[in-house]
Amino acid sequence: MTLTFIEPVHTFQVDFAGVVSNIVYVQWMEIGRTKLLEAVGLPVATMLEQGLVPVLVHTEIDYRRPYRLGEAAHVELWISELRNTSAQIDFRFTGPDGILRATGRQVGLFVSYPDLHPHRLTAEQRARFEAYVHQP
């Protein structure tokens, strides 16, 4: 299963060249990860209560075509790899026209809180994420 959402392009996200700044893609990825955690029933507040937090360790983005003011980003994400202590999330950014604008990938590490050591997912925690694991 994939998770999808739409984000409008705002004036403050456009750079001097008239296109969406690259940092905005990272923000959209953060929104997506937050929505994914909520979808699996582990919002950040709940994870903290359980002594678990996700820590981002790698981000990459390949830009294809720019977004401009007045457009909306259609963001699709899924877990392409779920390991015992980490997960890789892949992203596709398209416009309302369906044309691919960018792809991205992030790797997050699950760590115990507050000591910040790698945390091995329990069977119950892992099962929550399984519905979003796939290779498109």
CATH code of 60's domain: 3.10.129.10
Q: Percent of the chain having pLDDT more than 90?
A: 90
> Are 70 and 124 in contact, with CB atoms under 8 Å apart?
no
Look up the domain containing 119 and give its range.
3-130
The whole-number pLDDT of residue 7 equals 97
pLDDT > 90? residue 136: no
Evaluate whether residue 100 is within a structural domain. yes
Evaluate whether residue 75 is within a structural domain. yes
pLDDT > 90? residue 45: yes
Evaluate whether residue 135 is within a structural domain. no
This prediction has a pTM of 0.93
Which of these, 131, 135, 119, 136, lies nearest to 39 by C-alpha position? 131
Phi, psi of 37 (to 5 degrees): -60, -40
When divided into structural domains, the chain yields a total of 1
pLDDT tens profile 67-85? 999 999 999 999 999 999 9
Evaluate whether residue 27 is within a structural domain. yes
